[in-house]
Amino acid sequence: MTVHIESKKEDIAPRVLMPGDPNRAHYIASKYLKDAKLVNRVRGELAYTGTYKDVPVTIFSSGMGIGSMGIYSYELFNDYDVEKIIRIGTAGSYKEDLKVYDIVVADSAYSNTCYDEEAGIENIDTINSSFELNSTIIDTAALKNIKVTTGRLHTSLAFYTESKDYTKYTDLGCVAVEMEAYALLFNAKKFKKQATAIVTISDNLITHEEINSEERERKLDEMIMLALESIIKN
Ligand code: HPA
- What pTM, to 2 d.p., does this model score? 0.97
Residue ID of nearest Cα to ligand 1 atom 3: 178
CA 155 to centroid of ligand 1, rounded, Å: 9
Task: Tell me which of 108-112, 136-140, 163-167, 213-217 is least confident.
Answer: 213-217
Distance CA 66, CA 127 (A): 14
Residue ID of nearest Cα to ligand 1 atom 10: 91
- 120, burial (CB in 10 Å: exposed 0-12, middle 13-18, buried 19+): exposed
Q: 163-185 pLDDT, tens per residue? A: 889 999 999 999 999 999 999 99
